[in-house]
Amino acid sequence: MSKAEGTRNLQSKLRPIVNYSLTDQVETKLLDLFKKEDLRSGDPIPKENELCEAMGVSRTVIREALTRLKTIGLIESKKNKGMILTEPDLLIGLDKLLQPKILSEETLQDMFEMRLALEMGIAELVFARIKPQDILDLKAILKTEKDYKEDLEMDFEARFHGRIYAIARNNTLLRFQSMLLPIFKYVHDKGLKLKEEELPKNYVTHSIIVKVLETGNPEKYRDAMKRHLKVHFDRTIKIRKLLE
């Protein structure tokens, strides 16, 4: 029996000790408390000193746990007022993380695909909620397309597609999409940029998409968007295959 095997064997008998720090414990206790008390957004939570006494730990630890909860947007604190539960922002912190430099290629790929999927998937919502003004806005954006030269091309894409997302009237989705922009820019700058010649014959332009939005239906939209994004789909599928 090798040394490694011996260790593994020992492990199965002893089980490694998981070391929850005091802060970890306080954090979970707080979350439990909120759930048990059935607290809602706006409800006040105990003072720091009360928590210290109740849990028998220093204010340092309490504050560290509270800092975590503040960071994910679950609570807010005001001097003298104390702290209250808040409607958390699901996308909080995401903007700080979405810097391509620190994300792995795999995660970038994941996010890129999610965007592609969403762009196709919002068809039903878009057609259920589109209004005349949306078309007008999109047409106005179209007119500016030629003003975006070379390296600004991505900015146009962002504006155009962002405006489509807005039609879905889903604020979380809209913000999510806008946060993903740096990633697409990165992917784009990294060589995704496709020369005109490489575009497939039945390529769907932005202008065609607007037309479909104006006169089409979800099925036609999905078909158009699929062609519009085809190169991206092809690429991501090829890349992922290589990684296997």
**Where along the sequence are the contacts to a second copy (CB under 8 A)?**
31, 34-35, 38-41, 63-64, 67-68, 70-74, 85, 87-88, 90, 92-94, 96-99, 101-104, 106-107, 109-111, 113-114, 116-125, 128-129, 168-173, 176, 218-219, 222-223, 226, 233, 236-237, 240
Can residue 48 be called a binding residue for DNA (CB under 7 A)?
A: yes
Give the one entry of a second copy, DNA, none that residue 10 binds, where binding means its C-beta sits below a cut-off of 5 to 8 angstroms depending on kind.
none
The structure tokens listed for 231 are 């190169």
Can residue 81 be called a binding residue for DNA (CB under 7 A)?
A: yes
Instruction: Give least dist CB 182 to a second copy, A.
Output: 12
Of 86, 102, 83, the closest CA to residue 94 belongs to: 102
Can residue 122 be called a binding residue for DNA (CB under 7 A)?
A: no
Of 126, 112, 129, the closest CA to residue 192 belongs to: 112
Can residue 42 be called a binding residue for DNA (CB under 7 A)?
A: no
Cα distance between residue 142 and residue 160, in whole Å: 8
Residue with smaller CB distance to a second copy, 38 or 150: 38
Continuous H helices in 192-229: 206-215, 218-228
- Which residues have C-beta within 8 Å of that of residue 48, sequence separation ≥ 6? 59, 62, 63, 66
Q: Are 27 and 65 in contact (CB under 8 A)?
A: yes
Among 33, 34, 39, 64, binds DNA (CB under 7 A): 64
Can residue 7 be called a binding residue for DNA (CB under 7 A)?
A: no
Question: For residue 183, with 0-12 CB atoms within 10 Å meaning exposed, 13-18 middle and 19 or more buried, which class applies?
Answer: buried
Can residue 22 be called a binding residue for DNA (CB under 7 A)?
A: yes
Q: What residues make contact with DNA under the rule CB under 7 A? A: 19, 21-23, 47-49, 57-61, 63-64, 77-83
